[in-house]
Amino acid sequence: MRIRIGFSKQGALRYTGHLDLHNLWERAVRRAALPLEYSQGYHPQPKIQFASALPLGFASCAEVMDLWLKEERGLEACRAGLQAALPDGIQILAIEQVDERAPALQTQVVAAEYKITVPAEFASGLNEKAAALMLAASLPRERRGKTYDLRPLVESLCLSPLPLEDEAGVLIFLRLASREGATGRPEEVLDQMGIPADPVRIERTRLIFQG
């Protein structure tokens, strides 16, 4: 039985990386006493697949994963069992059964949306920087020794003042391409705009799939 789960990753869990998240889910499934399916072979791996790795430190309210069970179970029982077994910070938002033969999630992701909270001290001139970025024909950058063009990866960029009264600053809403070999990274966009990574908060708000 293949189950698709939408979940959020917040609070302390932002600091658990992709590989550790894999183990975390495996243990949660075991605590929930659900019959997790394992791959065949000498080193059997649990059949858990994530749509898209979330960088360390990012929050998210839009993660998606598939997991396989050896036996059929009721979806509501799965949801309740898993939620009780998960650490605070991971909330199951949606659960559904999907066709065993449906394509792998990670091949279906085309884009991702992010909400970035920029403190007031870095907010000045952001409109101009955003306009310059969006108007550029190309934005050649280097990452890990490879050059690439950031511009085509930025599908949209909007600014908005923080709605909260007690917290000054700016929200950036970004939509970045997220395909194999063409994945836009929010921190690269921030760096392009001259905003340091440490003081901002980044949350993934949506994954966009094919079709």
Partner 1 sequence: MLTPEQIETRLERILSSVQKPARYVGGEVNSVVKDWDSVSTRVALIFPDIYDIGVSNVGLKILYDQINQRHDALAERAYSVWTDMEAKMREQGIPLYALESKRPLGGFDILGFSLPYETLYTNTLNILDLAGIPLRSADRDETQPLVIAGGHACTNPEPMHAFIDAFVIGEGEEVIHEIIDAVQARQSQSATRADLLLALAKIPGVYVPRFYKTHYMDDGTVSHMETLADNLPATIVKRIVGKLPPPPTKFIVPNIEVVHNRASVEIMRGCTRGCRFCQAGMITRPVRERSVDDIVEAAAQAIRSSGFEELALLSLSSSDFTYVVELVNKISEKFKGQKLTISLPSLRIESVSIDLMDKLREHYSGGFTLAPEAASERMRRTINKFIPDEDILNTTREIYRRGWTTIKLYFMIGHPSETIEDVQAIVNLCKRVIAEGRKAAGMKVKLNVGVGTLVPKPQTPFQWVSVDTRESILAKQQLLKDGLRDRSLKLSWTRPDDTLLEAWLARGDRRTAEVIHAAWKRGAKFDAWEESRKHEIWMSAFAECGLDPAFYTHRTRRTDEIFAWDHIATAVRKNFLFQDFRQSLEGKIRVDCRQNCYACGILPTFSNLRREHPGGGWKCPDVKSPAKVSHPLSVIRGQIPVSGD
Residues within the interface to partner 1 (CB under 8 A): 11-13, 15-17, 19-20, 23-24, 26-31, 33, 38, 44, 56-57, 85-89, 197-199, 201
**Cα–Cα distance for residue pair 2/109, rounded to 1 Å:** 18
Residue 121 Cβ vs partner 1, minimum distance, rounded to whole Å:
12
Residue 83 Cβ vs partner 1, minimum distance, rounded to whole Å:
12
For residue 209, count other CB atoms closer than 10 A to its CB: 13
Selection from 158, 190, 195 nearest residue 173 by Cα: 158
Give the tokens for residue 211.
Answer: 């079709």
Structural element, H or E, at residue 186:
helix 186-192
- Give 3 or 28: the residue with its C-beta nearer to partner 1: 28
Residue 108 in 3-state DSSP?
A: coil
Residue 3 Cβ vs partner 1, minimum distance, rounded to whole Å:
17
142 contacts: CB under 8 Å, gap ≥ 6: 148
- Give 28 or 105: the residue with its C-beta nearer to partner 1: 28
Residue 82 Cβ vs partner 1, minimum distance, rounded to whole Å:
11
Residue 15 Cβ vs partner 1, minimum distance, rounded to whole Å:
4
- Give 176 or 190: the residue with its C-beta nearer to partner 1: 190
**Cα–Cα distance for residue pair 53/9, rounded to 1 Å:** 12
**Cα–Cα distance for residue pair 178/186, rounded to 1 Å:** 11
- Give 8 or 109: the residue with its C-beta nearer to partner 1: 8
Give the tokens for residue 59.
Answer: 């929050």
Give the tokens for residue 139.
Answer: 């934005």
- Give 16 or 60: the residue with its C-beta nearer to partner 1: 16
